[in-house]
Amino acid sequence: MASKQEQSCQNSDIVKQNWLVDEIAHDFEFLDRWDIQLEIDEETGDDLNRILDVIFSRKNSNNIMDYLSEFLFWFRDVLGTWFGWDKAVNSLPIPGCQETSLKERFLKISTKPESIPEIGKLFSDIDQETFKTVYNFENERLLELSNNTVHALLHFGRLKLNETQLILKMSVYVKTRGLLGKFYMKLITPFRHLIIYPTLIQNAQKNWENFCNQKK
């Protein structure tokens, strides 16, 4: 069973949905959106958390882009250590605000606080102490990361087209911390678009295809 990727930055061919993130992160800058079209059936199911666990599970690969992506993450960690970019992970206030986490905003409007696990399983292979889940619903999930340069959000939305197809929408939002944060975002922009995102999406496709083949 194959997966078809539909990538987009800033725009999507799918009608805009009323995601909760648009309400509680209205003061964040929207950076990128990538759409992945997945084929589903009764065997694969359409559970969002299961889909995320499958497509973002770490797999060994000999692809040069994977090596480049891994190197960039390693190099970013080195720079963060040298310049102190990660001294205050997930503890600083959101730029221009008093809250340290969007969970605080979410709790003010939510009647389902049980939807907030302490640490999301997503990306647990990479760094389970970095990405924090803000909320986790049937059709959308929001994670956040804060350090000395930015407060960033990673949003996943599930849009079911029919019984055999759905769109997984991956979006990035950010608030920078002063001139350093703005410089940092400009610095990493070409690496995000040319290496990080394409590699992430390609691996997500492969993981889903392998998962579907195992279900046959």
Model pLDDT for residues 11-24, shown as the tens digit of each residue = 344 445 788 999 89
Which among 125, 150, 121, 147 has a CA at the least distance from the CA of 136?
A: 121
C-beta of residue 57 within 8 angstroms of C-beta of residue 125: yes
CA dihedral 133, 135, 136, 141 (to 10 degrees): -80
Does the pLDDT of residue 140 top 60, yes or no? yes
Flag whether pLDDT at 190 surpasses 50. Answer: yes
**What pLDDT is recorded for position 10?**
38
Q: What is the pLDDT of residue 15?
A: 46
pLDDT digits (tens, 9 = 90+) for 51-108: 888 888 765 566 666 656 666 665 677 666 667 777 878 888 999 999 999 988 888 8
Mean pLDDT of the region 185-197: 84
Whole-angstrom distance, CA of residue 160 vs CA of residue 149: 35
Task: Give 16's DSSP letter.
Answer: P
Burial readout 30-63 (b: 16 or more C-beta within 10 A, e: otherwise): ebbbbbbbbebeeebebebbebbbbbbbeeeeee
In this predicted structure, what is the pLDDT of residue 169? 92
pLDDT above 90: residue 155: yes
Maximum distance among all Cα pairs of the chain, rounded to whole angstroms: 52
Average pLDDT over every residue of 155-161 = 89
At residue 7, the pLDDT reads: 41
Full strand arrangement of the beta sheet holding 4-7: 4-7, 29-39, 165-176, 150-160, 140-146, 132-136
For residue 23, list its beta bridge partners.
none
Residue 6 CB partners (closer than 8 Å, separation 6+): 13, 35, 36, 37, 167
Instruction: Give the per-residue pLDDT at 177.
Output: 92
Of 56-60, 158-162, 187-191, which range is least confident? 56-60
- Supply 149's token pair: 């340069």
Instruction: Find the radius of gyration of the CA atoms of the chain.
Output: 17
CA 50 → CA 45, 156, 158, 166, 208, distances in Å?
8, 13, 12, 14, 11
CA quadruple 103, 109, 113, 115: dihedral sign: negative
- Note the pLDDT of residue 38: 87
124 Cβ partners below 8 Å, 6+ apart?
none
